[in-house]
Amino acid sequence: MDAPSKPTNQTENQILDATRRAQKEYSFDEAHDPNRPADLWFQESHEGQILFVVFYTQACRWSRCLGCNLPAKMSQKHVGYRALMAQIDWLFSRPEVIQRYETLKKVIVSNNGSVLDEKTFSSTALMYLIAKLNLHLPNLSVLTLETRVEYVDPAELEFIARALQEGETATNLELAIGFEAFDEHIRNGVFNKGLSLERLEGLCRLMAPYGYQLKCYLMQKPVPGMTDEEAILDVHQAIDYLSRKAVQHDLCINLHLNPTYVAFGTALERSFRKGEYSPPKLRDVARAALRGEDKDVSIFLGLSDENLAIAGGSFIRPGDEAVIAKLEQFNRVQDYDLLREVVGIS
């Protein structure tokens, strides 16, 4: 593994300080093999077949979001570019990936933080990943990079986008950011996301001239004290807002709606154990997503708790299998009649 660079201790201290301030009670996964990604899975959407890969890196430097324990799957310490490149090699050697070389249309790249933060995700490794994508995925249409807005560098985006054009199929760049909640107080005052609408709109203005795509992760019912109806209204307001931004900036925007699960080691877990919080029901997720019909955004429903929910803290409940099947079908075809079937509207 690479020798840590000079800022590593500062970065590590920043992560630990943010974790303490957020009163999170989890530890980091230092036992994970640094030459293997943290996770990968496949999805189906209206865009086609998707590979979602979570690379194992140093944890998110923000680490303050109230209900998030994703950093628990990462390292507290620096993970260098050689290890990351080994993870990329391992990914492209997997039989389940190789057999999808011709059919993959989209790759979503995550490190449970910010792929564009060069302190936690090596720029060398990111360029190596793009080279591998160009070499092996001839029909790739979109590369999605998860990031916080403050790490977006216009010059870096332009270089990445130019490299993506060199593959057999011209591949568009999509940035995925955590929007979490529309309500400003909930998003920043309670959930502690640290994202203003002004900063989000600045990102839209930056991306628009280049035709980059935008994905916004939204959480349904992300904090204690929020009723189910208030959570649905917040999603409706977010859909309306993002639809306006899509028209205003001529942007392709996707809303990735995640029903909130109770993540271990967080303040949300403590509220859940006190009986002060319950995850949203999938029927209410369908009710919320119905707002997207005839709007200028596409919607993808997140239906996995990534094995990070505490016992009884998932939004998936016994008997939900048929509902999940309909919601997964909605992701593939964007047919709002499927949501009406879930809600019970004829």
Please give the average per-residue pLDDT across 134-149, as a whole number: 98
Cα–Cα distance list, 244 to 101, 234, 335 (Å): 36, 16, 21
1 or 87, greater pLDDT: 87
Of the candidates 117, 87, 131, 136, the residue with the CA atom closest to the CA atom of residue 7: 117
Q: What is the pLDDT of residue 1?
A: 42
Chain segment 211-238, per-residue pLDDT in tens:
999 999 999 999 999 999 999 999 999 9
For the cut 90, the answer to whether the pLDDT of residue 170 exceeds it is no
pTM of the model: 0.95
Q: Kindly state the percentage of the chain with pLDDT values over 90.
A: 96
Strands (E), 138-286: 142-146, 172-180, 213-220, 253-259
**Residue 73 DSSP symbol:** G
CA atoms of 130 and 126, how far apart (whole Å): 6
* Residues 289, 294, 295, 300, CA torsion sign: positive
Reported as a pLDDT band with limits 50, 70 and 90, residue 8 is low
For Cα atoms 278, 279, 282, give the angle at the middle one, nearest 5 degrees: 135
For the cut 80, the answer to whether the pLDDT of residue 4 exceeds it is no
Of the candidates 306, 200, 302, 197, the residue with the CA atom closest to the CA atom of residue 256: 302
Mean pLDDT score across all residues of the chain: 95
Where do we find the tokens 């890196």?
57
Asked if 98 and 92 count as a contact pair (C-beta separation under 8 A), the reply is: yes
